[in-house]
Amino acid sequence: MTPAGRKRAKIMMFLGVIGPGIIAASAGNDSGGISTYSVAGAKYGYTMLWAMLAMTPSFIIVQEMAGRMGAVTGKGFAALIRERFGLRPTFVAMLMLLASNAATTIAEFAGIAAAMELFGVSRYLSVPIAAVVVWLLVVRGSYRNVETVLLALSGVFTAYIVAAVLAHPDWRQVAHAFVVPHVVPDKTFIALAIGLTGTTIAPWMQFLLQSQVVEKGTTIKEWGFAKWDAMVGAASANVVACFIIITTAAVLFPEHITITSAKEAAQALAPVAGPYARLLFAVGLLSASTIAAAVLPLTASYAICEAFGFEAGVDRTWAEAPVFNGLYTAIIFGSAALILLPGISLIAIMLVSQVVNGMLLPFLLIFLIRIINDRRIMGRYVNGRVYNVLSWATIVTVIGLTVALLAMTVLGIG
Amino acid sequence: MIYLTQMMGKPVIDASGDEIGRIHDIAIATGEVFPRVTSLAFVGPDKTPFMISWRKFVEEFDGDKVCLNVDKAGIRFSYLQPDEVLLARDLLDKQIVDTQGMKVVRVNDLKLSESRNQLRLLGAEVGLRGVLRGMSPVLERGAEMAYRLVGRHLPETLIAWNYMDLLDRDLSHVKLSVTHKRLHELHPADAADILEKLSSGQRARVFEHLDNAQAAETLSELEDAYQADVIDDLGNQRASDILEMMDPDDAADIIGDLPYDRAETLLRLMGLRESRQIRKLLGYKEKTAGGIMTPEVTTVPEDWTVQQVIEHIRTVASENESIYYIYVVEADRRLVGVISLRDLIVSPPDTSVEDIVERDVVTANPDDDQEDVAEAMSKYDLLAMPVVDESGRVLGIVTVDDALDVLEEESAEDLALATGSTRKIDEGAWHWLGKKSGWLIVWLVLGLLASLIVRAFSHTIVSLVAVVFFLPLVVRLSEDISSHSLAMLIEAGAPEERPPFVRQLLIDITVGLGLGIVTGLIVLGIMTALSEPIAQAIVLGLSVGLTVLLMATAGAVLPYVALKPGGVGWRAPSALISTGIAALGLAVYLALAAYLNAIVR
């Protein structure tokens, strides 16, 4: 091999380990994410930007930790929880993962329904068809090829960056909002803050990222390269998220437009797409939701089967892997069925699912942080102090917000 | 029956009836089929861990508590012996390999049995039942009751100790039972199957336990994708030792996939002879006879006797990959002929090689396509085929196991072409997902295209409702015709072996004409039987018949266009082509019907 060839081998090694982080993070900008960010901007203007800034380091290190655990142990998150904590805590953790996943899958189908309604297709038609298509994508294992296309399509959300510029926000105000924390003491604000955390650092993302790192066979030696994939992926997903908030804050907030359906949310793209704003928004929402609706149930099924030692794999038959096949089938069709209940507000579903995610996040993070600080498991790759402080700060903050929300609800404040 | 999850945390009572601690773990001696429990680990009130001998101190375990036969003061503490395994620490919640079912499973509980005051391990519970019991015995009883309602039993999935292989704890120093069937006692092909299901870390650990010979055999049985991975995880010396023990052609395959620096290092660490052989093989292109041949050939001169040849095989050639054929060569390795092992054995020892040599030998050149070589071997029923250079000198042989691999690979490629999947055999699930094509979406789009076509002809449908009756028929026929011609092509093999285009076209047009007339007449018959107007019956009979004819022609042309030799077209799956043709058939049929209908009116 020539020196040039050797250089290429090095680049190939980098490309070989890159991907999981970027995929996991950008799949996070799904229907739940888009709606939560849009509502945050439309309802509170730039107020919540500082929270996004504060969350970004947490998100980056959480993704890095999940990937590092996979690289060091060669095992999935669920397997590590089981081996470290035993059966009962694992059961609790899996229940939380299942709840988080199912809630988000419901949100994805809500996203599909909302996007198709922008095209004028009734949800009673689009959702059953989407459920069957998603299920087939999973069963036939073909979603990975479609994934690239759909992820590329959902990349239209980067249009928000352009839209934000074209909407001429008051940049000084934006900068101010980024650095000066401001809290509105009402229930909606707290709930939205929890939702923002839940959608940004969604629990299922760590399971997904870690399992992909394991599947790729990335070793700790290669992790030096690969962690940049996880961290850059996380950071760039958050950049897009911030621009969504800026855009909606600049376009919808001054007009006092409340987002009650995807129609209003789509208007935020008007500065860049004009009359095609709805089309652009619908295409992005549809593709992001479809891919996430396939990935989420699979992630949960793999993790749960891994934890309890059940046979898993899309190439297994129902007789060979009843739990695995049963789980994702139930999640997909159960979620789709829920959307079809009459009189359900799609936007509300998308928001609530992210709040659920946010409330569950700290508990799964506690599992994560205890495993990653266990020297018997991680050897010399345990966390440094900065990582631990940041992680615990996230855990404490989100639990605090949840307690505050519950207290306000019980006491009837706000 | 006693279960470990139920034992944990139960009190330990000494002879005077005082509780001195709670059960934390129990240890077994590993040397038996059903290992005895040898030690009890418990934690005292202030969380101090203790370990005592089960045989010496335990009076009985009655399901609720462990009673000791001595007073607290009389206990002697002990340490974990090298041949002991702690059940909760080393087995519970861990992954093990079920060497009988060839699966990787997780230990949800451990089942023990008590007989004559001895507690023995029966096996590991790996199923749902263990999960439920571990959660709470109430759940297990509830599930059992539910099962009984439908007249069944909640199944127990037990793996006996002698069928387990532990993955996580380094137990290589532990002397396991004599009958213990561990991974390295499995057939290398079976071991390889299990290894492919493990994560890369676990795979590396298992490889550490195999000796070089076993590792070499198992490594050659692994799928290509895993081979380089495993070598990556091994140290240089070990890797080169293992590669050295492999057949040179297999080793060359693996080394060819490694980065240059690593390959050089490994080759340098090898013996001179092996590395020279491998280097030579690396010079040949992949997928040729040279690429899959092994240089280990048993050659003898013509003037030897049978006795000499047999001696030679026993001493010098015994390590060669294949000794079923002995090649007779001149001094410069030019091939003269071949003797089979059978000829050698049935001939008297003093027979000269000259008298039994078969001079008509089927040979291959190093640049021959591997598929051709494999097919020739299958045709002539050969166990090995010599590869010779242009002057007839023997370079190596292609053995039957490599030829079988080639045939399997090629048929998998054909299958992939036919089904539109590009899946490689048996990769990990996530990886596998990545490879699998997303043709579903393409089909969906094509299906929607079909709806648009039908919509475009809505005015025809309004004036001639009967046109709808035969839509499914037309779609079905068009699909079948194109699948059929593609199947013929796959059978025909390489592009250059296909029948000439014009001839195929003529054949298909003739067949299409016949089919068209038959289906046209059937449609006409059906329409008349349904007492539809005769004009419409004729229009539709003609339309269907002509469509079938045109589709047969298209079915003949399209694969030639789509499947350009060596072009990207080889990737277009038959299913996609037939869906496309079906849409085309639909359009042609509707257009014909519309046109003919307009004329009749």
Question: Which residue in chain B is spatially nearest to A149 when comparing CA positions?
Answer: B438
Amino acid type, B127: G
Say if domain A31-411 classifies as CATH 1.10.15.40: no
- The contacts found for B374-378 with CB under 8 angstroms, 24 or more apart, are B374/B398, B374/B403, B374/B404, B374/B406, B374/B407, B374/B410, B375/B407, B377/B403, B378/B403, B378/B407
- Is B436's CB within 8 Å of A212's CB? no
pTM of the model: 0.64
Residue B122 has pLDDT above 70, yes or no: yes
Higher pLDDT pick, B550 / A36: A36
| Beta-carbon contacts below 8 Å between A and B | 100
Higher pLDDT pick, A409 / B437: A409
> Who contacts B346 (Cβ-Cβ below 8 Å, separation ≥6)?
none
Mean pLDDT of B26-37: 81
How wide is the angle at C-alpha A56 spanned by C-alphas A51 and A62, nearest 5°? 125
Please tell me which of the candidates A133, A136, A211 has its beta carbon nearest to residue B430: A211
SS3 assignment, position A301 = helix
CA B425, distance to chain mean position in Å, is 5
> Who contacts B423 (Cβ-Cβ below 8 Å, separation ≥6)?
B416, B432, B435, B436
- Is B440's CB within 8 Å of A149's CB? no
What is the pLDDT at residue B289?
Answer: 86
Please tell me which of the candidates A74, A143, A217 has its beta carbon nearest to residue B433: A143
Q: Tokens in use for A218?
A: 């990335």
Domain spans in chain A, listed from the N-terminal domain onward: 31-411
Question: Which residue in chain B is spatially nearest to A3 when comparing CA positions?
Answer: B260
Helices (H), A74-186: 77-85, 87-118, 123-139, 143-154, 159-166, 171-179
What is the pLDDT at residue A46?
Answer: 93
Distance separating alpha carbons of residues A31 and A109, to the nearest angstrom:
9
- Is A312's CB within 8 Å of B432's CB? no
Lowest mean pLDDT among B40-54, B349-363, B490-504: B490-504
Half-sphere exposure of A161 (CA within 13 A, CB side): 9
Query: DSSP readout, B391-420?
Result: T-BEEEEEEHHHHHHHHHHHHHHHHHHHHT
pLDDT digits (tens, 9 = 90+) for B59-104: 888 888 888 888 888 888 888 887 788 888 888 888 887 777 677 7
Backbone angles phi, psi at B339, to 5 degrees: -125, 135
**Number of CB atoms found within 10 A of residue B402's CB:** 25
pLDDT band at B423 (very low <50, low <70, confident <90, very high): very low
CA–CA min distance A410, chain B (Å): 32
Q: Which residues of B touch A (CB under 8 A)?
A: 5, 92-95, 103, 105-108, 126, 128, 131, 134-135, 168, 199-202, 229, 233, 259-261, 428-441, 444
In chain A, residues with a C-beta closer than 8 Å to the C-beta of B135 are 87-88, 91
In chain B, residues with a C-beta closer than 8 Å to the C-beta of A317 are none
Do residues B31 and B92 touch, judged by C-beta distance below 8 A?
Answer: no
**Chosen from A129, A138, A146, A377 to mutate, greatest number of chain B CBs within 10 A:** A146
Q: Which residues of A touch B (CB under 8 A)?
A: 1, 5-6, 9, 73-75, 79, 82-83, 86-88, 91, 133, 136-137, 140-146, 149, 211-212, 214-217, 219, 302, 307-315, 323
**Run of H or E residues at B480:** helix B471-492
ipTM over 0.95: no
Do residues B41 and B24 touch, judged by C-beta distance below 8 A?
Answer: yes
- Is B106's CB within 8 Å of A308's CB? yes
What is the pLDDT at residue B152?
Answer: 83
- Is B436's CB within 8 Å of A142's CB? yes
Question: Which residue in chain B is spatially nearest to A73 when comparing CA positions?
Answer: B201
Please report where in the chains the tokens 């997928």 appear, as a residue. B287
- Is B199's CB within 8 Å of A217's CB? yes
Distance separating alpha carbons of residues A313 and B430, to the nearest angstrom:
8
Do residues A336 and A107 touch, judged by C-beta distance below 8 A?
Answer: no
Residue B549 has pLDDT above 50, yes or no: yes
Q: Which of A96, A310, A107 is nearest to A207 (CA)?
A: A96
What is the pLDDT at residue A114?
Answer: 92
What is the pLDDT at residue B95?
Answer: 82
CA–CA min distance B201, chain A (Å): 5
Do residues B282 and B252 touch, judged by C-beta distance below 8 A?
Answer: yes
Amino acid type, A98: L
Q: Which residues pair with B305 in a beta bridge?
A: B352
pLDDT digits (tens, 9 = 90+) for B255-313: 888 888 888 888 888 888 888 888 888 878 778 888 888 888 888 898 889 888 888 88
Please report where in the chains the tokens 């399209």 appear, as a residue. B558
What is the pLDDT at residue B493?
Answer: 52
Distance separating alpha carbons of residues B306 and B312, to the nearest angstrom:
10
Distance separating alpha carbons of residues A247 and A243, to the nearest angstrom:
6
Q: Tokens in use for B309?
A: 């040849």
In chain A, residues with a C-beta closer than 8 Å to the C-beta of B430 are 211-212, 215
What is the pLDDT at residue B213?
Answer: 81
> Who contacts A70 (Cβ-Cβ below 8 Å, separation ≥6)?
A76, A77, A209, A210, A211, A212, A213, A214, A218
Say if domain B439-600 classifies as CATH 2.40.170.20: no
CA B127, distance to chain mean position in Å, is 25
Amino acid type, B104: V
Mean pLDDT of B458-464: 82
Say if domain B190-283 classifies as CATH 2.40.30.10: no
Q: How far is CA B588 from CA B518, B528, B576, B583, in A?
A: 18, 23, 18, 9
Q: Tokens in use for A380?
A: 């010399």
Sign of the C-alpha dihedral computed for residues A269, A275, A278 and A280 taken in this order: negative
Q: Which of B362, B408, B425, B387 is nearest to B249 (CA)?
A: B387
In chain B, residues with a C-beta closer than 8 Å to the C-beta of A9 are 259-260
- Is A88's CB within 8 Å of B135's CB? yes
CA–CA min distance A239, chain B (Å): 28
How wide is the angle at C-alpha B577 spanned by C-alphas B572 and B582, nearest 5°? 165
Task: Classify domain B299-406 at the CATH topology level.
Answer: CBS-domain (3.10.580)
In chain A, residues with a C-beta closer than 8 Å to the C-beta of B260 are 1, 5-6, 9
In chain B, residues with a C-beta closer than 8 Å to the C-beta of A214 are 199-200
pLDDT band at B428 (very low <50, low <70, confident <90, very high): very low
How wide is the angle at C-alpha A330 spanned by C-alphas A329 and A333, nearest 5°? 80
Q: Tokens in use for A356?
A: 């659920």
Average predicted confidence (pLDDT) for chain B: 79
Q: How far is CA A242 from CA A36, A181, A281, B99, B307, in A?
A: 11, 15, 17, 53, 86
Question: Which residue in chain A is spatially nearest to B421 when comparing CA positions?
Answer: A142
- Is A211's CB within 8 Å of B433's CB? no
Distance separating alpha carbons of residues B123 and B109, to the nearest angstrom:
9
SS3 assignment, position A254 = coil
Amino acid type, B337: G
Distance separating alpha carbons of residues B345 and B343, to the nearest angstrom:
6
Do residues A309 and A185 touch, judged by C-beta distance below 8 A?
Answer: no
HEC string of B235-282 equals CHHHHHHHHHHCCHHHHHHHHHHCCHHHHHHHHHHCCHHHHHHHHHHH
Please tell me which of the candidates A142, A146, A212 has its beta carbon nearest to residue B430: A212
pLDDT band at B366 (very low <50, low <70, confident <90, very high): confident
Show the low-confidence residues of chain A (pLDDT under 70). 1-28, 141-151, 154, 414
